[in-house]
Structure 1
Amino acid sequence: MTLEVLKTKQELRDLIDDYAYLSDEKKISEVMDLFTTDINYKVFMGGVMVADVSGRENMEKDFNGHASLVKTYFTMNGQSTVQIDGDTASGVSFSQIKMIRDNGGKDVLTDYSVRYDDKYVFQNGKWLIRERVGNFIIVEARTLTV
Structure 2
Amino acid sequence: MVNSKEFSKRLQKVFDYYELNASSFAEKVGVGRASISHILSGRNKPSLDFVMKIINEFPEVELYWLLNGKGNFPKSEVIPSSPISTKSFPPQEKASIENPNTKNSLSTTNPINTTHKSGATAQQKTIERVIIFYNDGSFDSFTPNE
TM over 0.5: no
The structure with more radius of gyration: 2
Using the size of structure 1 for normalisation, the TM-score is: 0.18
Bigger proportion of residues as helix = 2
